[in-house]
Structure 1
């Protein structure tokens, strides 16, 4: 794996993570209702959930990689189209962040478990990783080394992102209600996702 590939993966992951999804909505809901104390357990739960979904996805991708080069290439094409579709959907999402404050008393362990379940058991998580990860895998490189690097990178970013959302929601709650700010995030993220998908297709067709 080259440094450029890793940097592209890290940049794309950071863009994707900052886009509010079901997991982030849960993090924000707890933070709005119970303040900054939710930040660490929720971030830990998100990272554990992503670890579960990402590991299952990587193992499946590894099996496809070993079985057929054609199937693996097809998966990468489908993944690029999937990124474009996600980008268009996100661009049209508008500026609403539907996160209602959770005021139910919950221990740190319960919050961590809740975040883990929502993240790991969401079928979209595994679907996303199966579509996203092959874009950066070198079929001729060591699969397990790449898996370790990609997982460590993504999980570190996921933890930091969830922690950041929780802290912002707890300290600057008005920002979470600012439709203009959310709309800007959605449109910027959507544009970048579409660009990433198109760039992936262009690079592949030219290689």
Structure 2
């Protein structure tokens, strides 16, 4: 893999990571509520799911998902239902201010699971990676090292972009940390998750 091809992939990865989606909504919502150490749990879940998607593409199952209406529909329904469920849970979350500096990390362990499932149940992410990544793979060279390089690059870029979202949200945490603003956060992010689920439910593979 040449430097120019890798840089082109970095540019594509930046665009993908910066595009708003369920993952960025989760990171923003978490960043407004908790410190970065808690956000990091959601990030780990998101990135593990991203690597699972890449592995699926690498072994050829991504093409199967793209070709199978049944497989795509099944995963799409699961993903949409989970996003709507997250939205309802967020909407109904307790309206209480939280001192992020006093939140025990064990109380945020659920964020890893949320990050993992948000990305893992998104079939469009697999298909998008299946359409993008193979374009940067040389068939004349060993493919495993290339997939490893591209996978690590995708994760690194995504972590940087999502960290930016989290730190930006964190700058407004104190301003949003009162009962009225917490209620607003719950309604806004709950609505965003439900909307994301609805959009996923009506989406096609293209």
Q: TM-score range by the shorter chain?
A: 0.5 to 0.7
Alignment of 1:1-207 (within 5 A): 1-60=1-60, 107-172=107-172
Q: What is the CA distance between 1:129 and its match in structure 2?
A: 0.5
Q: 1:116 & 1:107 partners in 2: Cα distance? A: 17
Looking at structure 2, the residues matched to 151 and 157 of structure 1 have their Cα atoms a distance apart, in angstroms, of 10
1:51 and 1:102 mapped to 2: Cα distance?
32
CA distance in 1, matches of 2:19, 2:159: 14
From the superposition, tell whether residues 121 and 59 of structure 1 become closer, same or farther in structure 2 (CA, over 3 Å).
Answer: same
Is residue 63–residue 127 contact of structure 2 (8 Å, CA) maintained in 1? no
Change (3 A) 1:127 1:162: same
The 1-side partners of 2:141 and 2:149 are apart by 12
Q: Tell me the TM-score normalized by structure 1.
A: 0.59
Supply the RMSD in Å over aligned alpha carbons: 2.9
The answer on whether the counterparts of 2:32 and 2:172 sit within 8 Å (CA) in structure 1 is: no
Aligned length: 140
1:114, distance to aligned residue in structure 2 (A): 0.7
Q: CA deviation at 1:108?
A: 3.2
User: 1:102 Cα deviation (Å)?
Assistant: 9.0
Bigger drift between 40-49 and 30-39 goes to: 30-39
TM-score, normalising length: structure 2: 0.59
Structure 1, unaligned runs of 5 or more: 65-99, 175-207
